[in-house]
Structure 1
Amino acid sequence: MATEPPRVKLDARAVPAGTTVRFVLLVVLMLASSSSMLLTALTAAGLNEGFRCLGAAGVGPGETPADEVLHSAAYQACIAEHGSAPWWVEPAVPAALLLLAGGLFLALPVWRTRRSRAVPLATVDPDGRIGRQLERLTDLAGLTRVPRVVVDPFAASTGAAVFGRNGRPTVRLHGGLLTRRAVAPEDFEAVLLHELAHIRNGDVTLTYATVALWRTFVAAVLVPYAVGFGLLFFHAYAPETRPFEIGLGAWRALVLPLLMTVVVYLARSDVLRSRELHADLTAARWGADPRVWAAVEPARPARALPRALRSFTELWRTHPRWDSRRQTLTDPAPLFEVPALLMFLTGTAAVLVNGQLWQLAGRSTPPLAGAWDITMALPPAALVTGVAGTALWRSVVHRLLTARRRPSGARAGLWLGIGMTVGELFGNRIAINKWLPGQSVVVLLVLLVGVAFAWWVTECSHLWATVWRGRTIHPPMALVLAGAGLALCAWFWWWQDFGVVMANIPGLLTDVLGPGFPGLPSDPAGEYGAILTATAHTVPLLGTTVAGPLTLPAVAGLWVVPLLAWTVRPHPSGWARRAAPGIEASAIPAEPLPPLRRALLAGLLGGAVCWAGVAVLKARMHSWPPSDRPRGTAPALLFQDGACAALLVGAAVAALAASLLIGRYRLVAAIVAAHTALLAGHAGVLVLSASDGCAPALASFTSGCDWRPVAVWRGFQYLLSILLVLVTVVGIAVASAVAVARRVLRRPSRPAASAPAGEGARGPARRRLAVGVLCAGAVAVPAVLLSVPAPSGGNVTAQQPAAPPWKQALDAYGRAEDWYGLGGRDLMVRYSTVLDELRALGAEATQSPDGDAMVLTRLPSICVAFGKVARDAEAYFPVPDPQLLPSWRTFVTMAARGSQDCLSGLDRNDNDLVAAGMREFNQATGAVDSISLWVTASRGGSP
């Protein structure tokens, strides 16, 4: 029979609770949303569309507009019509929000005191007994001074409350509590200790700052946002007003604040509930009688549906239910678990923060545009790491010391990924003018990133908690969270620059990337054309993964951080005894780490596969007959493709072997083994390629024996950067596949093997030497790749695109949206309306006996309308696409000329001149049709 886990009460202070980071998450979400939402509200009301005039003029984000654009009549007219908020509005809105919240924070204690008509404690305590008891409890709580105490004599309840701020707290006692003091003094003392615990835990400032920020956010941000959209709908449906277009984007912008409001409120409630539970535990640790919590009448058992409804309503409460509080006092395990709601809210809030910053960056001035990359990526990465990472660490530590089953992190990561996905889908950047993104598969990357993050943090947490010897667990916790935060920051950097465009624009991989790099053989002979064409499309796509400067350091951290754990001799009793007071030394789990040599041997096996693959490739190229050998740069490209394939296969073999041999730390082992195989295999590529010709059977490019390591390094430098990322992905994918297969087959993981007996001091020394060598390679290779610029010529595959196609596509989309929204749609709708009137007139005239009179009566107004559209189009911006400028000129010229010829022919009774005007209208219509197709394609299929 399985033994029951020991009843160990883990001190809730052993690992940071993370509630402060959750509060920071709320603050950052509110501040990032305040500017964007208010400006969006002004835009929806038609009061702040002027910032889009530069986009309509063909100026992309971050580009400096030319003087002729700024001084053009079209730009001045656009600004005058649509208006634009001053530049200082965006930074002023968060500052104003903080000032208003700060004022409310200072006013809340005064208002609460006056509202309740509270009196000082001395008024109802003439003999000073309550004051002396309060002083004793204050000393017990470790506070430096007695807090200010007031009494609400009209409150009949037996509760109390603390408000103000940590430096100057105020405890308000209810009149019913003083009355009960004579009957049940232990109840009075428990309530006081609970309120003093709030002060000791630093809850007062954060709690009332949360309340002040929330109320200010509702009044100063959400209400103006609702008013702005109310004006939009009024202008859209009110009679005798110019109609505005209410498209899908407007509806999404209306749904976004609703989602954000729910996220903020639920996160706020979660923070406050958690602090109440921690205050209960602190009060009980100081000697509060637990029977006070048990004295409350327990809730009656409920059926399934009411129980589910009660659990749902619990999410919105700022105070936990009494049965939850009693359960926490009995066993604080729920405080150390990873709630699905917390992970979901964290993922959603982080993505919403990133999205709001992304929108602000789109309106950034050119000097600030480059600095926005790190500004957009760092806050959400830090918040996810602080909230979700801390929760995972707490769960691992608690389960380790209570001998419970170690969590895998997959479930928590799944909820984190779902939250991030929901945040993206409800945001207005990956699915503009439609509900679902153009490339829905790309959005799955967001879900998988959440799972990989939680899985890696969980394994590294257990790894370090097992071997750490320090007094507290905080140093390894900081190391692991730093590595996870760096990787997540690199992910957000890539996603906001490239992933957003990939998810939003359908067909981007084939339409935007085009034929590849200039100079690539477009029609190579024989069977290698498909390989070279795939290279032309794949390399630019994969090259985006290393476009950010944080990618390679993040990849290095993913396997250096867990590797360092093998340099520490396992002995967790130091921090464990402080985390679980009273625990026996024999009860502290001392799980040995799996032998590092297993992962290293798997990596060397993968490296040998790489060497063998490259040797077979060179032998194959050596055997090519001269008539079948590709010409030009094709042989070099084919060798690079084959070598990269060999490296990836070797890394996959190493990851598979390590995942099977080391089941407890499957993900960590797979990543370490895969990167070890890559380093060993790339060394083989350098050796075999630099000595090309020395072995006649493997000579591929030259027959003379010479040593050329520099040339080979330059040829693979750019590809090695990409391979470092791909190998990490391969390791995660292989470990996931093995984990899923074992779960399906229901086979337990291989238990960790202890170090062999009699290993002595040489065992740790050898491990540290091996770890040192691997860490040196993990850090040195990315450092060299980042410090040495990639070659600008010679190797075709190593050349990066001169202009990133992702940025081009995103900028083109924004310019098309601005041009269409600020006047292009109005011109095209007006032209289509006049054209329909002309066609209807022609059909009626052919069927009516007095058709000539009908034409002479109604045709002049139609021709005048064509001329008015042409003049307004001449005064507006041209189409912001160089390829469509001829069509735009044809439209403007032919519409104006047709109007003039039509009117002149009618005045002179010249049918030929009128017919010429009709032909010119047809030419203008063809040009308009071309522009309409461009608009539909640019806006994702929405005309």
Structure 2
Amino acid sequence: MAGLPPGAAPEAGERPASAPLDERVLAAGTTLRFALLVLLLSAAGASMVPRTVRHVLASSALADKEAACRLAAGIDPGVSFSASYVQYTRNASALEECTARYSQDFTGVSLAVGAVALATAVAVYWLLPVWRTRRSKVVPLDAMDVHGALRPLLDELTAVAGLTRPPRFVVDPAALTAGAVAFGRRRRPTVCLDVGLVVTSDPHRDRFRAVVLHELAHLRNGDIGVTYATIALWRVFLVLILLPWAATGLDVLLFAGTPDGRSLFAPFNTHSLVLGGLIVVAVHLTRAGILRNREIYADLMAARWGASREPWEVPTAQRSGMWPRLFARFAELWHTHPSWALRRTSLTDPKALFALEALPLFLTGLSADILVWHLGSLPYGALPAKAVLVAGLVVGIGGVALWRAVLYALLTGRPTPSGRLVGLWLGSGTVVGELTGPRAAGNHWLPAHPEALLILVAALVLVMTWTVQHAEWCIRAWRGRSLGPAMVAGLAVPSLALASLLYWWYVQGEVLTDGWPYTTAGLLGSYGLPGLPPAHIGPLLETVAVVGVLPGTDASAESLWWAGVLLWALPLLVRATRPPLRRPTWLAKAWPETVAPLPPPPSALGRHLAAGLAGGLVCWAGLAMALAHMHTPDPSAVRMTGPFQLVHLMWPVLVICGAMALTAAVVAAATDSAWLLAGLVAAGVTALLGAGAAYLLMRTDGCLGPLNTMTDTCRWWPNQVAWPLVRTELAYALALGTPVAGLSAFAGRSARVLWRRAGRSGQHPTARPTTERPLRRVWQRGARLAAVAVAVAGFGATALTVQTPGSTARSSRPPELMLDQSTQAPSASMARVQGQAWAAVGGLDRINALSAAERAYTTAFVAGAHSASDAEFVEAMGKLRTACEGLTRATKRAGAYFTVPDATGQQVWSRLLTRYQTLATACRNLAARPGSATARAAGTAHQDAVDSADAMLYWLAETGAIRPRTETP
């Protein structure tokens, strides 16, 4: 950490003005940002090393064969993921067998290279202090301080800093400036003083104290260890991992393989190289931003310890003109130290540490998306952990910045920031990462439908808006000694909610970047219910089909669908607590000048609960109308049909989600502050009441008269029948209904803003008197108790649902059945390449095996026909039975091979397999019952099989998959 520059000697006793707000009141969030960098470098290294090792050591012939297996399976790198997925599912077993035959395992080498890189990073971390304190570079302080005047002063400053491990002080005799730098490991730190600072320590004692205290502040804040660990990891990653990987990528892009192959995979390989460049930019800019903030933290701590302000009074040149100022701001982004003007301003007002900057948020979204790409090799079962990790980092970094900004705004009387902008910047970084990297685009220059990425942007806008409004509520109402627990809880909830949507995105939603890959008939048929899809699909089944692939379709606990209840239950509990009447402890520490608590948030809990109750009544009415619509005089005639069962399940889902959306929109439009939280609270109460009503209606079905649906028998149906349906409905209501309610709240709020801008709204009502009547106090107490009851009920219902046996089971719906089963015809060049691959990796071998089995059959058949004795005939029949078994084996092996990518070729191949199967059957019949009839049938089947084999070879030669045979004389 660089020290302070020289400055004029200040007057004795001069101290900087005290800061109005303690910057340590909340966590800075820099540790999370460092953690994101470390995870990004680690995951990128774990992903890049195997690819580099494989490219260097793998046999090019086997690698080409392995790539040919995918082409032979009909996977076209130039088409959408859904089309390739259909081909993949049709040939999954054959593809696994083919790639296993040609795969090359370099796991041991990759692990060894990774271990060497990690050991090198540890060695660099340990040797950096040794290198910087080598004898040719620095000298001990005692060698320069011959009179021993500085040692007592340094001991005093170390005691002021409260360091339990005093650092080692050395002097750089070549540095004529009056600065210093702290470095080294956490347990053995070192402070290197410039010789210019040492020789001027007597006349400029205050400047010396300020410079040393600044470096000691870095040690006290724990900056040194994590900073130099990141430096060591970054240098090793850059030299040993990134540069070889980039060289490999350039070789694959420009030189390796054939020109057609390089052109075919150029988009994917280019995106991969761009991703490596983005890592360099993201890591450097993020690290520079973190270090700039930590310099300001060290300045403030040094000033708090009594450092003079004079060393910060460095004259700075004023740049005139727009372009010089823009260039200066751009150049500052790459520096690890802030400008002196910003450092001077921060001594009296640390607003820079509480500000929301667009670039760090953008880089956070970008880094998180790159991290997801490099975590792609994790097994499928790790998807929930990956979703929680990514969501926790994104919401944690953006949320900490929001909490700090909200706190600063509330304490300084400024407007609270908007979470929408924070979500937009985080989402913009995510979208840029998706568009420039190969994860969403695949082997395309851009995704076919990049507008699908707006789902991620909308989700981030929602959770960040929720975070900023919840932070304001908590800060106003918190009575603890520290805001830390409140912030942790306020960030854990949106992190889990975002992780729930990310889990759905990784499993199903990401394919939307290729377009809508599903068909209504396929979606309905994937349920496996009788009668689905029906001959005539109405609008209701169309809607049900779409809802079937939206969030909520997976009711297992690991999908995190239950996180939706936290978005309204936690704010409900916060609003149910009584705001502090006296200054809380955390506020006294953060802002000693204040003597009164913060103004409490507007008390509207009763109205929110009432709105939720009204929404519940609307939901009940909608459920009654839905059941009346489904009522039939003879339920037994239709209750077992697929359409009726599916509609019976989805009608309550649609009604509950619709009621939640309507309630959230109305409440948000009628609420002045924290409108999103108010809308979600009301929508959550509506969902809870709606789910309870659906549960009661299902258990009392048969006793409801015109609302009976599944039965006419009046009884209390067992819980095993009603609860699984309600669990699915609750999963949809929370995983799908909550974001829909949030978007509806945005719509309601936007409508109110437009209404006001149009001048159609009246003036704000006058403030109500602060004195409360006894009846109002009773009403507020009852609203708080009701809020606690509703929140506990929501938590309990969700916990019971998650812990229900069988609730962790995944949906058994085959995903390939949901997709459009029609395949896009490949281009002529791709068809030729796929045909060549099909023949090369086993197709021609299987045709030859069939021909060899056919020749063995012919030999045995001729031997039997020309046998001169019974013994010769018996021997010939034995050979015939062996030939029949060979035909059966060869046909079975050929049937397990890839389908031909071309439709015409597949018809020829299918006919060949059918005729060889017929030949094998005729062969067995002939061997079991020799005679003229079985011989004629075998002869006909034999001729058909030979003709089919010749037709297949002719088709392969015509399409260029194989070379045509040359006739020999």
Normalised TM-score (structure 2): 0.77
Residue among 662, 684, 688 paired with 1:679:
688
Residue among 381, 389, 392 paired with 1:382:
392
Distance 1:204 1:300, change over 3 A: same
| Secondary structure, aligned partner of 2:538 | helix
Give the distance between the partners of 1:584 and 1:263, measured in 2 at CA: 40
1:656 corresponds in structure 2 to: 665
Are the equivalent residues in 1 in contact too, given 2:555–2:810 (CA < 8 A)? no
Distance 1:10 1:670, change over 3 A: same
Distance 1:509 1:599, change over 3 A: farther
Are the equivalent residues in 1 in contact too, given 2:403–2:487 (CA < 8 A)? yes
Cα deviation, 1:726-772, whole Å, max 9, x if unaligned, reads 22022201221123234444569989977944368755653442123
Residue among 39, 53, 61 paired with 2:50:
39
| Unmatched tracts of structure 1, length 5 or more | 1-5, 362-368, 793-797, 832-873, 898-914, 930-943
- Whether 1:303 and 2:321 are equivalent positions in the alignment is yes
- Whether 1:518 and 2:528 are equivalent positions in the alignment is yes
Distance 1:237 1:129, change over 3 A: same
Distance 1:234 1:618, change over 3 A: closer
User: Which amino acid letter does the alignment assign opposite residue 176 of structure 1?
Assistant: G
Cα deviation, 1:202-240, whole Å, max 9, x if unaligned, reads 11112211221111111011111122123325634899x
Residue among 442, 445, 454 paired with 2:452:
442
Cα deviation, 1:630-675, whole Å, max 9, x if unaligned, reads 9945445444444333323322232123213433111111111112
User: Which amino acid letter does the alignment assign opposite residue 528 of structure 2?
Assistant: P
Distance 1:417 1:114, change over 3 A: same
1:426 corresponds in structure 2 to: 436
1:531 corresponds in structure 2 to: 540
Give the distance between the partners of 1:640 and 1:803, measured in 2 at CA: 19
Distance 1:317 1:523, change over 3 A: closer
Residue among 60, 78, 86 paired with 2:102:
78
2:793 corresponds in structure 1 to: 777
Give the distance between the partners of 2:417 and 2:270, measured in 1 at CA: 41
| Secondary structure, aligned partner of 2:319 | coil
Give the distance between the partners of 1:701 and 1:242, measured in 2 at CA: 59
| Secondary structure, aligned partner of 2:601 | coil
Give the distance between the partners of 1:194 and 1:791, measured in 2 at CA: 56
Residue among 264, 275, 282 paired with 1:263:
282
Distance 1:414 1:35, change over 3 A: same
Cα distance, 1:159 vs structure 2 = 0.9
Give the distance between the partners of 1:422 and 1:791, measured in 2 at CA: 37
Give the distance between the partners of 2:692 and 2:574, measured in 1 at CA: 26
Give the distance between the partners of 1:799 and 1:581, measured in 2 at CA: 52
Are the equivalent residues in 2 in contact too, given 1:346–1:416 (CA < 8 A)? yes
Give the distance between the partners of 1:791 and 1:284, measured in 2 at CA: 57
- Whether 1:401 and 2:419 are equivalent positions in the alignment is no
- Whether 1:596 and 2:605 are equivalent positions in the alignment is yes
- Whether 1:451 and 2:472 are equivalent positions in the alignment is no
Give the distance between the partners of 1:393 and 1:806, measured in 2 at CA: 46
The worse-fitting range, judged by mean Cα deviation, of 770-779 and 822-831 is 822-831
Cα distance, 1:384 vs structure 2 = 1.7
Give the distance between the partners of 2:101 and 2:532, measured in 1 at CA: 48
| Secondary structure, aligned partner of 1:172 | strand
| Unmatched tracts of structure 2, length 5 or more | 1-16, 76-84, 758-762, 842-891, 916-946, 962-969
Distance 1:76 1:437, change over 3 A: closer
Give the distance between the partners of 1:594 and 1:91, measured in 2 at CA: 59
Residue among 556, 566, 573 paired with 1:557:
566
Counterparts of residues 271-290 of structure 1 (less than 5 Å): 271-290=290-309
2:82 corresponds in structure 1 to: none
Give the distance between the partners of 1:799 and 1:120, measured in 2 at CA: 66
2:486 corresponds in structure 1 to: 476
Cα deviation, 1:112-146, whole Å, max 9, x if unaligned, reads 12286211111111221111111111111111243
1:119 corresponds in structure 2 to: 139
Counterparts of residues 756-835 of structure 1 (less than 5 Å): 756-758=772-774, 762=778, 765-788=781-804, 800-805=811-816, 824=834, 827=837
User: Which amino acid letter does the alignment assign opposite residue 602 of structure 1?
Assistant: A
Give the distance between the partners of 1:134 and 1:188, measured in 2 at CA: 10
Distance 1:550 1:76, change over 3 A: closer
Cα deviation, 1:279-315, whole Å, max 9, x if unaligned, reads 1111111111122211x11221331122112111111
Give the distance between the partners of 1:514 and 1:221, measured in 2 at CA: 48
Cα distance, 1:257 vs structure 2 = 0.3
- Whether 1:335 and 2:356 are equivalent positions in the alignment is no
| Secondary structure, aligned partner of 2:213 | helix
Give the distance between the partners of 1:373 and 1:236, measured in 2 at CA: 34
| Secondary structure, aligned partner of 1:158 | coil
Give the distance between the partners of 2:948 and 2:114, measured in 1 at CA: 60
Are the equivalent residues in 1 in contact too, given 2:253–2:266 (CA < 8 A)? no
The worse-fitting range, judged by mean Cα deviation, of 734-743 and 21-30 is 734-743
Give the distance between the partners of 1:665 and 1:513, measured in 2 at CA: 39
Counterparts of residues 884-903 of structure 1 (less than 5 Å): 887=905, 890=908
Distance 1:655 1:89, change over 3 A: farther
Q: Larger Cα Rg: Structure 1 or Structure 2?
A: 2
RMSD (Å) for aligned C-alpha atoms: 4.4
Give the distance between the partners of 2:467 and 2:295, measured in 1 at CA: 27
| Secondary structure, aligned partner of 2:23 | coil
Cα distance, 1:715 vs structure 2 = 4.0
User: Which amino acid letter does the alignment assign opposite residue 326 of structure 2?
Assistant: A
| Secondary structure, aligned partner of 2:439 | coil
Q: What is the aligned-residue identity percentage? A: 33
Cα distance, 1:427 vs structure 2 = 2.5
User: Which amino acid letter does the alignment assign opposite residue 283 of structure 2?
Assistant: V
Normalised TM-score (structure 1): 0.79
Cα distance, 1:923 vs structure 2 = 3.5
Cα distance, 1:540 vs structure 2 = 4.3
| Secondary structure, aligned partner of 2:190 | strand
| Secondary structure, aligned partner of 1:181 | coil
Are the equivalent residues in 1 in contact too, given 2:179–2:194 (CA < 8 A)? yes
1:731 corresponds in structure 2 to: 741
Give the distance between the partners of 1:581 and 1:332, measured in 2 at CA: 13
Cα deviation, 1:597-638, whole Å, max 9, x if unaligned, reads 111111111111112222333444558899x99994544544
Residue among 113, 118, 129 paired with 2:149:
129
2:883 corresponds in structure 1 to: none
Give the distance between the partners of 1:537 and 1:434, measured in 2 at CA: 27
1:214 corresponds in structure 2 to: 234
Give the distance between the partners of 1:806 and 1:402, measured in 2 at CA: 59
Distance 1:760 1:652, change over 3 A: closer
User: Which amino acid letter does the alignment assign opposite residue 432 of structure 2?
Assistant: V
| Secondary structure, aligned partner of 2:183 | strand
Distance 1:541 1:490, change over 3 A: closer
Give the distance between the partners of 2:560 and 2:496, measured in 1 at CA: 9
| Secondary structure, aligned partner of 2:584 | helix
Cα distance, 1:434 vs structure 2 = 0.9
Are the equivalent residues in 1 in contact too, given 2:836–2:960 (CA < 8 A)? no
Are the equivalent residues in 2 in contact too, given 1:253–1:428 (CA < 8 A)? yes
Distance 1:678 1:821, change over 3 A: same
User: Which amino acid letter does the alignment assign opposite residue 78 of structure 1?
Assistant: Y
Cα deviation, 1:31-63, whole Å, max 9, x if unaligned, reads 000021223334556838879949749799999
2:336 corresponds in structure 1 to: 318
Cα distance, 1:324 vs structure 2 = 1.6
Are the equivalent residues in 1 in contact too, given 2:680–2:738 (CA < 8 A)? yes
- Whether 1:254 and 2:263 are equivalent positions in the alignment is no
Are the equivalent residues in 2 in contact too, given 1:134–1:146 (CA < 8 A)? no
Give the distance between the partners of 1:656 and 1:307, measured in 2 at CA: 44
- Whether 1:569 and 2:593 are equivalent positions in the alignment is no
- Whether 1:617 and 2:626 are equivalent positions in the alignment is yes
The worse-fitting range, judged by mean Cα deviation, of 159-168 and 782-791 is 782-791
Distance 1:23 1:635, change over 3 A: closer
2:201 corresponds in structure 1 to: 181
Residue among 157, 160, 184 paired with 2:177:
157
